[in-house]
Amino acid sequence: MFNVFASQIKDLTLLNLGYKLSDEQVNQFCVYGDLLLEWNQKLNLTRIIEPLDIILKHFIDSMAIEKYLKGNKLADIGTGAGFPGLPIKILRPELDVILVDSLKKRLDFLDVVISKLKLKTTRTVHARAEDFGRNVQYRGTFDCVSSRAVARLPILLEYSLPILKKNGLFISLKGLQAQEELKESQAALNVLGGNVECVKTYNFGETAEHRAIIVIKKGKETPSRFPRKAGIPAKSPIH
């Protein structure tokens, strides 16, 4: 079905982001879109079901973070249906991407997508974000961490900064409340060792809501007591 929208995928990506997708990349997005709609009937992966809305509000919105990426190793926390991690992987196939989510059924879907799209150096990890951050295998190992529509920023910082390398970047996709969430996050930034690198606001036309990208740089090592045990960051954010 998404094959009908192949030209729109290519044109809208070029128009909004300036990236010229290859035919292979466009085909990968078409397959991804078809699988998303198919699995959405049983898993409720997304409320957005119109193909053009999926292209703009999921695929292109996810790819918007590409210009802020550094290094080669990316973790996508609370990846859900794979956003923004999988569109970034399609755009940048050389990246080493780990998609983290606490719901196994979502990861079953993502494993099928990864297989169908023949994506290399891409895998899923079934874990709570707090447990992932306390795992010595992952702590302090990522160049970048991304997150989209998971939690408010102070909570996300506790999930993300522990797994970043020093000088690594946390890239958070947010909506209209970005500045408000930044104000809430000052204590968390101080405690966890983060500094605001930049905040970029944008929108993709009348049908797409205003968006913001917040980039946080890890300036110093995060104290070993963070992240706290599962559930605590959300119930009692650092303040």
Binding residues: 78, 83, 129-130, 148
Dihedral sign for Cα atoms in the order 24, 25, 27, 32? positive
Per the CB < 8 A criterion, the answer to whether 237 and 158 are in contact is yes
Q: Which residues are annotated as a binding site for S-adenosyl-L-methionine?
A: 78, 83, 129-130, 148
How many Å apart are CA 127 and CA 139, to the nearest integer? 14
Dihedral sign for Cα atoms in the order 225, 229, 231, 235? negative
Token pair for 206? 């009348």
For residue 223, CA distances in Å to 5, 189, 191 come to 48, 12, 8
Which residue type does 174 have?
Answer: K
Which residue type does 180 have?
Answer: E
Per the CB < 8 A criterion, the answer to whether 85 and 97 are in contact is yes
